[in-house]
Structure 1
Amino acid sequence: MEKPASASRTVMTQIIFPLDTNHHDTMFGGKLMEYMDKAAAIAAMRHARMQVVTASTDSLDFVAPIKVGEVIEVEAYVSWTHNSSMEVYVTVQSENLYTAERTTTVTAFFTFVALNERGKPTMVPKVYPESEQEIHIYATAPERHELRMKRKRDRQHEAAKT
C-alpha cells in the first residue's frame, strides 16, 4: 500500500524563550535539533504506524539565526522510503510576530527505521509525492540514500580496524 507524503505531514510551533537561547540571544542548535527529531519521528510513525528509531541525520544546515521572542514552525514529512527506512524532510521557519517576517532557518534530512513488535526492522509502505517540492525531493532521494549507505559502510570499516 502506498501513502501520500502529505499523510505524514507534522507541524510543531514553539515560541523561543530566553532559556532556549545562548549568550547571543539566539536559539541553541541542540534544542532546535531536539524539536526537529521529535517532529520527524511523529511524521515517520504516522507513515509507518509503528515504532521507529532515528538512524541518521544529514544535511542539517543552519542558514539563519533564531532570536529570542520569535516563533518557530518545525515541519516534517516522509519524503522517500526504502524497505524499512524512511527519509524525513524537515524545515524550520522562524517568524517575528510583530513584523510577520518569516525566514527559513534550518533544513535537514532525518532517516528512521520502522521496528516490529520484536524490535526488528520491518517493511514500511511506499510514499508518493504530490507537490512540486515533494516531487523534487523524492527524485533526489536515491542519491542521498546511497551516500548514507556509503558513509555507514566506511564507518563500519573504520570501526573494524580498531
Structure 2
Amino acid sequence: MSGHRDIVRKWVKPEDLNQHDALFGGRLLEWVDEEAAIVAVVQLGTTDLVTRHMSAVDFVGRANRGDLLELEYRVVAFGRTSITLSCRVDNVVTGQEILRLDSIVFVAVDDAGSPRPHGFTDPTTGTERLRAGSERS
C-alpha cells in the first residue's frame, strides 16, 4: 500500500490510569479501536462497518500520566468487503514504542449485517468517499 498514514494524538489524563499509575491497557485499546474505526469509515466511505478481527496486541512500553501518545494507522490491504489496518502507538516526547497491532480488520456491512463489497483498492487522503457516501443515502 501507499505510504499514507493517519495520526491521532492522545494525552494520558488521571482518569486513564490503572492502580499502578500507568495508562490502563483497556483505555488504550478503546482509543485504538475507536480511532481505527474512524480511519476505516473515511477509507470505505461508510459508517456501516464492523470490527471483524484484531491480531495479537503487543504492549511493549508503558505510558504514564501526562504522556502524549501518537497513534499511527496504516492501510495494510483492501479486501472485497474489508479493510485491514495496522497501528503503532508511540510516546511523542521520548519516541518509545508503547503498543503494536499488526492487523485490525473492518468489514463493510449492509442493512442486514451481511458483508457487502465496498469497491475500493487504494487509500484516500481526504473525506471525499465519506461525503460521496452520504450523498448516496
Secondary structure at the aligned position of 2:29 is classed as: helix
Give CA deviations for 1:45-76 in whole Å, capped at 9, x if unaligned.
11110121101111210000111110111121
**Could you tell me whether the CA contact under 8 Å between 1:43 and 1:77 is conserved in 2?**
no
Structure 1 position 127 matched with structure 2 position 119: no
The aligned residue for residue 38 of structure 1 is 34
Secondary structure at the aligned position of 2:64 is classed as: coil
Structure 1 residue identity aligned to 2:22: T
The aligned residue for residue 143 of structure 1 is none
Within 5 Å, give how 1:15-54 maps onto structure 2.
15-50=11-46, 51-54=48-51
Identity %: 27
Structure 2 residue identity aligned to 1:112: F
Could you tell me the TM-score, scaled by structure 2's length? 0.78
Shift of 1:41: 0.7
The aligned residue for residue 13 of structure 1 is 9
The aligned residue for residue 101 of structure 1 is 94
The alignment's C-alpha RMSD in Å is 1.9
**Could you tell me whether the CA contact under 8 Å between 1:10 and 1:39 is conserved in 2?**
no
* Structure 1 stretches lacking a partner, 5+ long: 129-162
Shift of 1:118: 4.6
Distance 1:90 1:127 in 2: 18
Shift of 1:35: 0.5
More RCO (CA 8 Å, sep 6+): 2
Shift of 1:84: 0.6
**Could you tell me whether the CA contact under 8 Å between 1:11 and 1:39 is conserved in 2?**
no
The aligned residue for residue 88 of structure 2 is 91
Shift of 1:114: 0.8
Aligned match for 2:76, one of 79, 83, 100: 79
Could you tell me the TM-score, scaled by structure 1's length? 0.67
Shift of 1:43: 1.3
The aligned residue for residue 60 of structure 2 is 63
* Structure 2 stretches lacking a partner, 5+ long: 124-137
